[in-house]
Chains A and B, each alone.
With several copies, the nearest count.
Chain A
Amino acid sequence: MSITVKFFASLRETVGKDEAILDPARAQTAQQAWEAATDGREMPANTLIAVNMEYAGADAAVTDGDEVAFFPPVTGGGGDVLR
């Protein structure tokens, strides 16, 4: 019985962990999952959220068995300047 929280890229380094396992009682929304997994840290403004691999808002519902991911803006692909 748990919610899996994942952090990627610079956000993983900011929060100092790549994953947290939460008791589902601790979070009914993605925002609450963030807070429970980061000990109440403020979420950076440009954070992207995915619930079960789909983009979602901070108020998206989360429930037992869900995977909630937090990450910075994506920078994949090629064919552009990097700086």
Chain B
Amino acid sequence: MSIKLLGEAFDPWRELQRHQAGNPQLAGKYGATSVFVGTMRDFNDGADVERMVLEHYPAMTQKHLQAIATEARSRWEILDTLIIHRFGEIHPNDAIVLLAVWSAHRRASFPACRYLIEELKSRAPFWKQEISGEDARWVTHNTPG
């Protein structure tokens, strides 16, 4: 179970490679890996948002991501989880969050991965601010899906 909060851009696929390479005890044990990557989109409705700043409450973030992962492990038979979340300045096409679940079977990995992102979005203390030139505007709510 690994949780990372990163202040710089990351490549989700390289992080997954690294995680598996660093956990050789998992090899041959998992049949199913479910992954979700949330990425910053372009703003193509005419607004010229250039970037976002993602603020968080570090001690609480760490604690809540840990709690969410632990809760997932109590609900499903999971071998390992990896959670990576960005903070700080984020640009279009940057990965914001990576969630991965390794399990013997896909009947565990799929719902656990979905659970992680839904819980993270509703509970983890992160706040997005859109930046356009000199203008900064707080995002007031997450969309449900």
Number of B interface residues in the complex (CB < 8 A): 49
Query: A8 touching B125 by the CB < 8 A rule?
Result: yes
Residue of B96, B109, B138 near A77 (CB, 8 A) is B96
B1-58 interface with A by 8 A CB criterion: 31-32, 36-41, 43, 45, 47, 49, 52, 54-57
A1 within 8 A of B: no
Asked if B75 lies at the interface with its beta carbon under 8 angstroms from chain A, I say no
> Closest CB of chain B to A62's CB: distance in Å?
16
Q: What is the total number of residues of chain A having a CB less than 8 Å from a CB of chain B?
A: 21
User: What B residues does A78 contact at CB under 8 A?
Assistant: 31-32, 37-40, 95-97
Chain B contact residues, majority secondary structure: mixed
A72 touches B39 (CB 8 A): no
* Cβ–Cβ contact A74 & B55, under 8 A: no
Query: In residues 60-78 of chain A, which contact B (Cβ within 8 Å)?
Result: 69, 71-78
How distant is the Cα of A42 from the Cα of B47 in the complex, in angstroms?
A: 33
Q: Is the CB of B63 within 8 A of A9?
A: no
Expressed in whole angstroms, the Cα–Cα distance for A82 and B40 within the complex equals: 9
B126 at the interface (CB under 8 A from A): yes
A-to-B contact residues, CB < 8 Å: 6, 8-10, 50, 53, 55, 69, 71-83
Interface residues, chain B, with chain A CB atoms under 8 Å away = 31-32, 36-41, 43, 45, 47, 49, 52, 54-57, 59-60, 63-64, 85, 95-97, 104-106, 109, 117, 120-130, 138-145
